[in-house]
Amino acid sequence: MDLRRLTKTIFRDSLLASQLAKLINDYWRLLRSNGVEEVKIMNFCGTHEYTSTHYGIRNILPQGVSLVAGPGCPVCITPSYYVETAVELALEGFTAYTYGDAYRLPAVREVKGCRSLSDARMAGADVRVVYSFLDAVRDAASHGKPAVFLAVGFETTCPAYASAIASEMVPSNLTLISAGRLTPPAARYAVERVGTVSGVIAPGHVSTITGAGVWRFLPEEYGIPTVVTGFEPVDVLIAVATILKQLAENKPGLVVEYSRTVTMDGNQRAKKFLSQVFDVVDSAWRGIGFIEKSGYSLRKQFEQYDVVKTFGLREPGKDDWKNDLMPGCICGQVILGAAKPTDCPLFMKRCTPGTPYGPCMVSAEGACSIWARLGGRERLVEVV
Ligand code: SF4
Ligand code: SF4
């Protein structure tokens, strides 16, 4: 049996899952006897939201223990202004690149009748969907025409931009809309603003780069149990059990359940590239607004790769983020765990995966899209 199969066998094991469900119930009973009425655990990242929904994990949690979505979908939080800029440049003759998830991301304001890169392509623009930044680098080098990359992503994706730029692989005709974001400042914002989060399931992939140590502030400053966990159902159940245990014992801490991939210090090489190429600046998150020190901006010595600097585009200002969501869309509340996708009156009416109206309905990691595609499963499924 190969390692991947072995991991799936262990982390989808039904006996293990049912034992964890029992443990979760035991800790919950203990908490109830201490007067606790509700525990809200934030799935910071979209793939944990996917695991929780796809495997029906919410259905086996005791009433009173809830899993809520967080701001961990890089497509959902990419400001509309960046999409509008990409669409505008594509319509002006640039070759525009992005990932599949961001291709259909709708902007608030139309640009010449187009709201997304997908619309721009239908209008005749040269928009190309790529799997990786390196694909765009190679392609742009081959044609030599002005090109722009809608560079969304978190700490997991941004090292690819940074290493290509630092290694001088990026051709001079390719510029970036630098939309990279850092996740710990958003987690701080979410727990401060929402105030009712009792535990956090911290992102697994991000932590492989940053190291789990970046999440220490949650237990240390806010007393919130935090578990960096993997993406299989048993991983998430272990995280929930660990958080409830820590709450019951009143000993909040940071636990790395995903130790098969994550260390405390992370990937030094990737972090070196990131700090070599990017400054960390205050940045906007769609539906939320500006969060201090939460975005990657290309350093001065690399500004020839920054589309805003190179083509003298207007720098986005704070007013650009004020109306960053379509009327009626409550993505801002969904990604802060303050509302469920089904609380949105537009959910599966005006806004569906086929016709996304708001940003959380587009990506495979978007909470509304996950609930729309997978919601309502009654039992823990696909557990062997
Ligand atoms: S890239 Fe991975 S860690 Fe980051 S939000 Fe997506 S699933 Fe979570
Ligand atoms: S259902 Fe659509 S409109 Fe409503 S919050 Fe989600 S993405 Fe926004």
Check which CATH number belongs to the domain holding 248 and give it.
3.40.50.11750
Classify residue 2: in a domain, yes or no.
Answer: no
Summarize pLDDT for 48-70 with one digit per residue, the tens: 999 999 999 999 999 999 999 99
Do 120 and 188 belong together in one domain? no
Is residue 112 domain-shared with residue 214, that is, in the same domain?
no
Asked if the structure places residue 335 within a domain, the reply is no
Q: What percent of the chain has pLDDT over 70?
A: 97
Q: Report strand pairing: 278-285 vs 289-298.
A: antiparallel
Residues 305, 173, single domain; the answer is yes
- Predicted local confidence at residue 7, as pLDDT: 73
Q: Is 370 within the bounds of a domain?
A: no
Q: What is the pLDDT of residue 1?
A: 64
Residues 106 and 165 in one domain: yes
Q: Can you give the pLDDT at residue 377?
A: 47
CA of 296 to the centre of ligand 2 (A): 27
In-domain check, residue 212: yes
Residue 6 has pLDDT above 80, yes or no: no
Residues 85 and 178 in one domain: yes
CATH classification of the domain holding 275: 3.40.50.11740
The answer to whether the CB of 351 is under 6 A from ligand 2 is: yes
pLDDT at 68: 95
Reply yes or no on whether the pLDDT at 375 is more than 90: no
* Alpha-carbon gap, residue 180 to 155, rounded angstroms: 8
Q: What is the pLDDT of residue 193?
A: 84
Q: Give the range among 159-173, 237-251, 368-382 with minimum mean pLDDT.
A: 368-382
Residues 129 and 192 reside in one and the same domain: no
Residue 317, pLDDT score: 74
CA-nearest residue, atom 2 of ligand 1: 205
Residue 115 clears pLDDT 50, i.e. is over it: yes
- CA–CA separation, 97 and 12 (whole Å): 37
> Averaged over 335-341, what is the pLDDT?
94
Confirm or reject: Cβ of 332 under 6 Å from ligand 2. Answer: no
Is-contact 348 370, C-beta < 8 A?
A: no
- Answer yes or no: is the C-beta of 197 below 6 A from any ligand 2 atom: no
Q: For residue 153, which atom of ligand 1 is closest to its CA?
A: 1
22-26 mean pLDDT: 97
Angle (CA) 102-104-106 rounded to 5° is 95
Which pLDDT band holds residue 378 (cuts at 50, 70, 90)? very low
Give the model's pLDDT for residue 319.
73
Whether residue 339 lies inside any domain: the answer is no
Residue that wins the pLDDT comparison between 6 and 50: 50
**Number of domains, the chain:** 2
CA of 46 to the centre of ligand 1 (A): 6
Average pLDDT, the chain: 93
Closest Cα to atom 1 of ligand 2: 347
Does residue 211 sit in the same domain as residue 142?
A: no
Does the pLDDT at position 13 exceed 90? no
**Do 150 and 211 sit in the same domain of this protein?**
no
Q: Is residue 2 scored above 80 in pLDDT?
A: no
Residue 293 sits in the same domain as residue 243 = no
Q: Do 133 and 170 fall into the same domain?
A: yes
pLDDT digits (tens, 9 = 90+) for 32-49: 999 999 999 999 999 999
**Closest ligand, as measured to the CA of 47:** 1
Statement: the pTM of the whole predicted model exceeds 0.75: yes
Q: Is residue 261 part of a domain?
A: no
Q: Is residue 8 part of a domain?
A: no
Q: Is the pLDDT of residue 380 over 60?
A: no
87 and 166: one domain? Answer: yes
Q: What is the pLDDT of residues 164-221, one digit of tens each?
A: 999 999 999 999 999 999 999 999 999 998 878 999 999 999 999 999 999 999 999 9
5 pLDDT exceeds 80?
no
**pLDDT-derived band at 3, boundaries 50, 70, 90:** low
What is the residue with the minimal CA distance to atom 7 of ligand 1? 47
- Domain of residue 50 covers 20-74+184-256
User: What is the reported pLDDT for 381?
Assistant: 44
Query: Is residue 189 in some structural domain?
Result: yes
If asked whether residues 168 and 277 sit together in one domain, one would say yes
Check pocket membership of 361 for ligand 2, CB cut-off 6 A.
Answer: yes
Q: Which of 53, 54, 99, 154 to mutate to test the pocket of ligand 1 (most atoms within 8 A of CB)?
A: 154
**Does ligand 2 lie within 6 Å of residue 329's CB atom?**
yes
The confidence band for 322, taking pLDDT boundaries of 50, 70 and 90, is confident
